[in-house]
Structure 1
Amino acid sequence: MEAAMIPLIKKLGGLLADEYNLEKRVRKRVESLITELEMMHAVLRKISAKPAELFDEEDAVDAFIVRVEDVGHNRGSNNMKNRVKKFLKRATKLFTKGKALHQFSNDIEEAQRLSKELGELRQKYMSDADTKGNADAIDPRLKAVYKDVTELVGIDHRSKDQLRTMSIVGFGGLGKTTLAKAVYDKIKVQFDNVAFVSVSRNPDMAKILKKVLYELDKSKYATINEAARDNEQLIDELRMFLQDKRYLIVIDDIWDEKAWELIKCAFTDNCLGSRVMTTTRIAGISNVCCSSSDDIVYQMKPLPDDDSRKLFYKRIFPQGIKCPDELEEVSRKILKKYGEVPLAIITIASILASDGPDKQIKPKYHWDNILGSIGRGLEEGDSAKDMQRILSYSYYDLPSHLKACLLYLSIFSEDFELRRDRLIWMWIAEGFVQGGKKETGLFELGESYFNELANRNLIQPIDVDATADSALPVGIGKLTSLEELKGLLVDVKELGKLVELRVLYLYWNGSDESMYNSLVVSLGKLRKMQSLTIFDVGDARSDVSWDGWMPTPQLRYLWFKRCTTTLPRWVNSLSFPLLSSMHVSVDIVRPEVDIQILGKLPALHFFWLWVNKSQHTRAETFAIGPNAFPCLREYQFYGFIMGPSIFPRGAMPRLEVLVFSAQASDIVGGDLDVGMEHLPSL
């Protein structure tokens, strides 16, 4: 609901423009509604920043919706939640219809009634939320009270017997807790007292500290849970108990830096060789845990393919039985989905495991059903539910703005590659990036969102480097089931044998004409291609037209960088009915022809066009048709000389991001009127 308010507020603001000539009564109601919606939006953002009380709560906004729903008192379709949703949906559509604006008065009145009821609930809910949010506040002074004396006086020397910390970090399901427990069980005999305690997402710090005491000495602290002690008293008790003991303590599943700072206060460094181990999904927390140069951060890596396969088969087939040939393909596809995550492998394997007294292997159709269920959620057994719950914790711990950014990635197909800066601009266009400090731009704020998702191990940034190390191996054509390939082009003829290929990212030397001819023949055999990127790394500019190749109509992503001088003739709406993203770098563009052809691509959402040689004719010839680019949301073009009225009324109705180059003389002279007022979504 929070996200739905953003475009609605903007469009309501547009109603106040003089050109709409609203009645005075309606204008006042619109102004009042905008103010109320802005307040509601701010409250929803504040609510979403508060932690959920239970693991199975999606977020605090859901709790707010439940309260709204209760007001309906079982009125069916008339309850508050449905009314709000229906209004938001109807109000958003009003601005695209051709009806007179003075007819919207009834809708405005309905919105005001809803906002009044929501306002009454808001005060009640925020009061409850504030009370609950402060229930277990951590005193920031504790960190200073228990600060180690060596830190206070600046002593850098550390002996091997001083307290050291190791933090294990990685995304959910990698086996951080399993690894920590294995190490703990192996070395605990070397210590006087040991404890293994899980913190989880919303910890009661007093209970955590009591649990540490109980684990350290179960007989002495058998009744500690009944004691009424605050955090400071419990920390004092822990420090006194540990002062003359060599201890090993594992703090598992830390989600909050403040929680660690409080727990850390209890660990006294008595130079007896004590050790502390932590696990977390958040890289920033692991760095805080290991603040000393002698501490160790261990980054968990995804399970290699061979180990994934061994673990999968070992859990499914009885000892001595190999995977049947008919199950090889479906098992490979299952491992491709979840093969790097041990928890997922074990969970799926437990569903497929041979059962019954005769240990009979489950039929292939059962494996196919499991493969088909992976994308929409497994439903078999408690182990699958446990896996989903564990893996979902990382999502539920996100603030609302990061949830929206993460969910936005679902619009891209599997294995789709996207540059970071373009993704950030898309987030900005969707309204996910808002409310930064005055000195911080929207892009910098969006960049911090990206870094935070990477810090939480929810996305994995990659770097593509065209070096000799990425050359295609000899015999690549034998991998006939390969679906994704990236590398430096070597054996072009072998490429045509990969008929299952869906994603291809190639570097090549365009000055080699014989290689070009062979590449065109090979590409013509790849009829399942959905994403194609070709980057010319040669010293000389490529002078090929690519007209000898006809791409597959399934293509959704196309990037030609430095590998053609003109737009290929096969670029048209008939050849590309599904193309949604296109990046082209050329030397020559026929503005009156090429732009018109590109404008008819029916599914194009993102379009980047670079013209490497300057166009000496003015941009009056660069005309976009009135109905061109019907689905385009982002348009970047460089190398054109700007002229007036490039964007006529009716063109690019959904455009949200526009980037272009312009001559300084046009800007200084005030002549840069390109018709951007005709772009309604910009």
Structure 2
Amino acid sequence: MEVTAGAMRALLPKLAELLKDEYNLEKHVREGVKSLEIELTMMHAALRKVAEVPLDQLDDQVKIWASKVREISYDVEDAVDAIMVRVEDDSHSGPSTFKNRVKRSIKKISKLFRKAKELHQIADAIKEAQALAQQMAGLRERYSGLELQNSGVAATIDPRLTALYIDVTDLVGIDHAREELIKILTEGEDSSKQQLKIISIVGFGGLGKTILARVVHEKIEAQFDCSAFVSVSRNPDVRMIFKKMLHQLEKVKYANINESSRDETQLIDELREFLQDKSFDTRLPDKLGDMTSLEELSSISTSKCVDIVKELRQLTRLRVLAIEWEELGEKQDKALVECLGSLHRLQILNIYAFGGCLNLMQEGWMPPVSLRRFLSKGSTGSFSTLPTWINPLLLITCIDMWVDQVRPWDIQILGELPALCSVSLRATGSIEERVVEIFVVSTNAFQRARECTFFNFVTVPSMFPLGAMPRVRYLEFSLRAWDNDMAIGNGSSGDLDLAMGHLPSLERVSVMLWCTKASRAEVEGVEAALRRATDVHPNNPTLAVRRWDDRHIREQENNLADKEDDLLEEDDEKESSPPSVTTDM
């Protein structure tokens, strides 16, 4: 079938050449050639697929179809060559002597009588080829399943797949290795049983590593809350692996996970949430650094990989990295920061810090210029202030980070990033004691941003002047309900204006409303002002207000309700008691 595909491959460039102006085709002929070129291009794609299947494994009808397509290719190629030869003959008629000019004149006069006949023949040839091509396309559609059904025959079967379905009773000499692995996984103090354990099963291909891992998994899975067994190749589909794991961990909840469009980050978050309070065992590749072609690496922990820095340095093609950073010691922590800067192709970096010193990246880290997404979370996943290396990142589109302090100029620094589409800046600590900063933002800030979140420090939409945030559809910000200097849209004056009509693309607004020091009336007043601000916006964006720390308001309401109940009971007792009668003797 490769011969047929080759014949078509030679024809397609000639059809493209024929459409050039120098061949001066009639309009209807040109349109026919274009239509024929599209039809034959589709046939060529189908032929390439058929060519991948060995000849003896092809259906007879597919062979017939491919043979007919080859004949069409040769016929059309002959017609195209004839047209090209005529044009070239006309353009190479010899030097411009008197004798040659006379010959060309006589030839031109005679051609006037032949031209109509030739054009008619060319048009007929193209039309006939078109009809045949459409007929072959119809046959291909009618038997479209044939080449697809047969193409799977030549697919390479992963040898690990057969290992997953071997009957354990057929295995000989595996008991000792199985029990040894089970002993390593299950023995130890109670505290050590709760820690992640990684065991590498090393050996050449065909030795039975996958079989051994499977029988160990089947033997001890009852001791765990849940389990999953997923085979990983050298070039894995990371999303599919995560989906398989989720489906095996909870078949009912994740019954339709394979139809989900979640990305790697969302799947990782789902796995982390599910496994948060559970024990689990994982089988990883023997040496991470040997996988030099690896482009995506997720859920790797510094505490579980002894030579994490050395291994990461080998992964020079890495584009996506999600890493759990637990404290390694000052020297190793610094080496890790330096290593992250050497991954020059890195585009997405997610750091979940639980003991690792993220502030080492504050000044000493130089991110790769290719970085497009950066996320930092975890109990120690905050920077003291916005890092200085943020500003030169020309390609970064998404930032999600925590800082201990938000300075007056930090919002403007983020707003100047030319490619930024999504930003989440969150402050640690207590908003109650934080000074309300007056942020200065220019009119050209956040020009490409679609989503903006500012959490745990006071911000309002009016701090962004007209011209800034022209494309923002989702805006989340934080307020303190007890701030008395807030303009709430009822004619009062204040430093914090809740107006948002100058943000033309706004569709959704989310507000975190801190209620710690506020009365019920103050909270309801701010909520009413926010509703008025969204109601008057031309887009009528949706509004979601979440109260934060409103326990004392609920307690006040409960106490008030109790007092009202007590008063009602007293009134009922007075009404039910008989009137007292006094008589004078």
* Structures share fold, TM-score greater than 0.5: no
Greater relative CO, 1 or 2 (CA 8 Å, sep 6+):
1
TM-score normalised per structure 2: 0.38
- The structure with the largest alpha-carbon Rg is 2
